[in-house]
Amino acid sequence: MMLLAQSPAPFDSVPQMPKESDADIRIARIIAGLLNLQVSRIRRRWPDFGTTDFDDFSLGYMFGFVDVMTQRVGIVDEDDAWRIFASLAKALFGRDMGEAVCVRLPERQNWPDAVWGASTGRNDSLSWLKDPTIPPLGWYQYCRSDASEAVSSP
């Protein structure tokens, strides 16, 4: 996956929902497990989180986090990375909302909050890869308080 601020080929138009392979689903579940801690914490405060809509920071965060993790396991093909992202979105939020995330991300990828979220997601992934004892919490921190206090804007 490329930087969010760029326009990678799969994001030039609304993407088709790809058919996931068994390997895609396994990788997405591993990444989903890492993000699920944050989602469950966010939902304690806002039980409807992820059931109707997402803010741009959240879209970017998911993208940035997945971008680093897929590259780490050697997935550099944009179509393969997009399949992993789509699988992850559906694993975390169900098929309908996952598909909505995949439609909305290309539309909003260059918006400042989405770019900020992607940067935060990438940083969280890289930090976790360096020290897996420290869980990624940037998304949760953003959601639990005023965004300007929770996560530094780039």
Model confidence over 20-51: pLDDT tens digits?
A: 667 767 777 778 888 888 888 888 888 888 77
- Please give the pLDDT value at position 9: 39
- Please give the pLDDT value at position 6: 41
Residue in 107, 118, 102, 115 with CA at minimum distance from that of residue 15: 102
Tell me the pTM. Answer: 0.75
- Please give the pLDDT value at position 125: 92
Tell me the angle at which helices 56-72 and 22-45 cross, rounded to the nearest 10 degrees: 140
Q: Over the stretch 76-122, which tens digit does the pLDDT of each residue have?
A: 888 888 888 888 888 888 889 889 889 998 899 899 999 999 999 99
CB half-sphere exposure, 73, CA atoms < 13 A: 17
Domain spans, the chain: 23-144
